[in-house]
Amino acid sequence: MKRLHGLGEVCKDSASVLTVGTFDGVHLGHQAILRYLQERAAALGGISAVLSFHPHPREIVEETALSLLTTIDERADLMSAMGLGQLIVLPFTKEFSRLSAEAFVEDVLVRGIGAREIVIGYDHAFGRDRRGNADLLRALGAKHGFTVDMIPARIVAEQTVSSRKIRQLLEEAGDAAAAATMLGRPYSLEGKVVRGAGRGRDIGFPTANIAVTHPRKAIPADGVYAVRVRRRSKGQDAALSGMMNIGVRPTFGDAKRMIEVHLLDLDEDLYGEILRVEFVSRMRGERRFDSKKELARQLSEDKARSSRILKGP
């Protein structure tokens, strides 16, 4: 997949099929749009193209720090794995956010990219104050010579799949399993192993303390999770079984929120390595224990449960 930055790198293709959006998470709803995009591009003999933005538009419009399910690089990797033709990333600025819906279509989609067909989701909105909708897009398509296809919402467990809902599942409930069902894969994050206080090793459960690489990545709610871990910096893609704690470690009176993982079948020096952690299931909330012995007993139970979860039925 070609990754293009700005309209200046785009070569117009009169048979290209385009979709527009942030696609944070590349969840099942996004995947339905992207698969249809590929089908239409193949039928027309053109390129399947995705127009996306960085940073996330809500960060600029709402002037707030938004947590992300996927970084722009993760989104690109997921789209590339699906076989998309090209990803065009436009910088989203205050000035860009002021473009009217009509100007966005005419200046960006028509003159900048020149798509023959545009595929959108059921709730797609665009332009200043998100005033552009499917009806306006179809009217402009009739004027400029492109057609518009709308993909309906994807429903999972009687809920509409959305990035906002997945963030809520992760950050408020820690429901990694439900999030994975909507994403079509486990939620994951990457980080560098940094030195901690060594308390885990003292009670027989050494942990790798992880400093998350991207400051905007969504962090699941505090608790203990069954996870799979990949040693990215070692080039090892085989998943290792682990259990992860997210929280302030109240048994030790800590105040700083930490992310630490104990690998079930590996005890090596991992300092400096980059690990990718995939969340499979939340086993319990974080709580305070009266002694290190009680904590160690609970961790033994957590380890056995994590092993059972990760081995599957």
- Residue 23's CATH number: 3.40.50.620
> What count of other Cβ atoms lies within 10 Å of the Cβ of residue 152?
10
Within a 13 Å sphere around the CA of 266, how many CA atoms are in the beta-carbon half? 18
Task: Kindly state whether residue 187 falls inside one of the protein's structural domains.
Answer: yes
Question: What is the percent of the chain where pLDDT is above 70?
Answer: 95
Q: What pLDDT does 29 receive? A: 95
Note the pLDDT tens digit of each residue in 158-169: 899 999 999 999
> What residues make up the domain containing 123?
2-153
Q: What pLDDT does 200 receive? A: 67
- The band of 255, judged by pLDDT with boundaries at 50, 70 and 90, is low
Note the pLDDT tens digit of each residue in 6-17: 988 988 877 889
In this structure, are 118 and 78 located in the same domain? yes
Do 271 and 195 meet the contact criterion of CB atoms below 8 Å apart?
yes
In this structure, are 149 and 182 located in the same domain? no
Which residues have a Cβ under 8 Å from the Cβ of 58 and sit 6 or more positions away? 64, 66
Most confident of 30-39, 109-118, 129-138: 30-39
Task: Kindly state whether residue 158 falls inside one of the protein's structural domains.
Answer: no
Task: Kindly state whether residue 171 falls inside one of the protein's structural domains.
Answer: no
Task: Kindly state whether residue 136 falls inside one of the protein's structural domains.
Answer: yes
Note the pLDDT tens digit of each residue in 159-209: 999 999 999 999 999 999 999 999 999 999 999 999 876 666 777 788 999
Q: What pLDDT does 291 receive? A: 80
In this structure, are 35 and 102 located in the same domain? yes
The pTM assigned to this predicted structure is 0.92
Task: Kindly state whether residue 167 falls inside one of the protein's structural domains.
Answer: no
Show which of 136, 153, 170 is a domain's final residue.
Answer: 153
- The band of 253, judged by pLDDT with boundaries at 50, 70 and 90, is low
